[in-house]
Amino acid sequence: MTRVLVRNPHSGDRRQSVRAKELATRRGFDVRDSTAPGNTLTLAREAAEAGAVLVVACGGDGTLNEVVRGVDEADCLDETCLGVVPAGTGNDFADNVGITGVEQAFDVIESGRERRLDVGMVQTANGDETTDPTRPFLNSCVCGLTAEASARTNPDLKKRLGIVAYVLSTMQHTRQFEGLQLDVRAGPNRDPVWQGEAVMLLVGNGRRFPGEQQRQANIEDGLLNVVIIERVPTIDYLSKGAADRLLGRDGTHLTRVKVPNLVVDASKPRQFSLDGEMVERRHLEASSRQGAMRFLVGPTYTPVPDELA
Ligand SMILES: Nc1ncnc2c1ncn2[C@@H]1O[C@H](COP(=O)(O)OP(=O)(O)OP(=O)(O)O)[C@@H](O)[C@H]1O
């Protein structure tokens, strides 16, 4: 009955991950440290293949993504239970399932409260060339203003507006931002959802997006949460009402749909962030595998999130 902690010793400020190692060792975990980028994937795959009953990722969202991919590569998502000890800079997924810190994460593990959560699957391609292998994602796939925006974003704005803060601050700095020409389709018949020029496309599995009246994303509904922010050349991104206009309170610049699968074609290769990993591609297909993984969740996690008053 092996329980394995797959640990990225370089996550976050490292202190949390050192503490996690102590706690895990005391509880009889087999602790395996990664030695290079990508190694947490291999360690998780090997642990699952060897029959571990539980594989826990210790790190940030990037580490958790690799661990889930590793267990999926071993074809063991049905057999191996998963967990997370949040020791990264960003721990969005852990936060979303009610896991708030290293010590508490071990209480959650001991509680054994397991849920079947959706796993996002994504496949990318570049026009006629070969298609990348399908891989899982847990939080989101984002196209458009992504990594380059985060460094400049004012933290207060970020807290208040989430991802829209990135859009605003980047648009303020990058007057020349070239819009994304996108064709977005969904459903078994690939029905048209949206076509036009966007600044950002967000596809979420376990991630909340701007303007949502919920504390957490729904990770059991078998649906992808899709938000498209339209490029609006007439907006003064520095003006006070710009966020409201982008958030679509007038209902025009923001498109939001929940769909089981999605196909996106850009007019040329663009940057996509797949759970934080950047690739430049022209085509993306995403789908939700409902209830595909067994995950240990915290006491505040609810399958259907409450609406905020
Ligand atoms: N031993 C290692 N040395 C260098 N890089 C590693 C090692 N182990 C894992 N990685 C890489 O670290 C990245 C994941 O980092 P992780 O998410 O755990 O921490 P973080 O960057 O602090 O937090 P977050 O991603 O949540 O902001 C992955 O790209 C992974 O390949």
Evaluate: CB of 8 within 6 angstroms of ligand 1: yes
User: Separation of 8 CA from ligand 1 center, angstroms?
Assistant: 6
Residue 147 pLDDT class (50, 70, 90 cuts): very low
Report the pLDDT value the prediction gives residue 220, as an integer from 0 to 100.
95
> pLDDT above 90 covers what percent of the chain?
61
pLDDT number for residue 175: 60
CATH domain 119-290 topology: Tumour Suppressor Smad4 (2.60.200)
- Tell how far the Cα of 88 is from the centroid of ligand 1, in angstroms: 8
Task: State the pLDDT at residue 153.
Answer: 57
**Average pLDDT in the chain:** 87
CA distance 274 to 105: 25
CATH 3.40.50.10330 domain position(s) in the chain:
3-112
pLDDT in tens, 172-182: 666 667 789 99
- CATH for 3-112 is 3.40.50.10330
Per-residue pLDDT at 256: 87
Q: Is 62 in the pocket of ligand 1 (CB under 6 A)?
A: yes
Which of 7, 11, 45, 96 has the most ligand 1 atoms within 8 A of CB, as the residue to mutate? 11
Residue nearest to atom 30 of ligand 1 (CA): 37
Q: What's this model's pTM, rounded to 2 decimal places?
A: 0.89
The mean-pLDDT minimum among 25-39, 56-70, 119-133 falls in: 119-133
Q: Judge whether residue 72 has pLDDT over 50.
A: yes
pLDDT digits (tens, 9 = 90+) for 78-117: 999 999 999 998 898 999 999 999 999 999 999 999 999 9
- Ligand 1 centre to CA of 38 (Å) is 8
Residue 196 predicted with pLDDT over 90:
yes
Ligand 1 geometric centre to CA of 222 (Å): 28
Does residue 10 line the site of ligand 1, with CB under 6 A? yes
**Whether residue 39 has its Cβ less than 6 Å from ligand 1:** yes
Over residues 141-146, mean pLDDT: 81
* pLDDT grade for 148, boundaries at 50, 70 and 90: very low
**Start-end of CATH 2.60.200.40 domains in the chain:** 119-290
How many A from CA of 68 to the centre of ligand 1?
A: 14
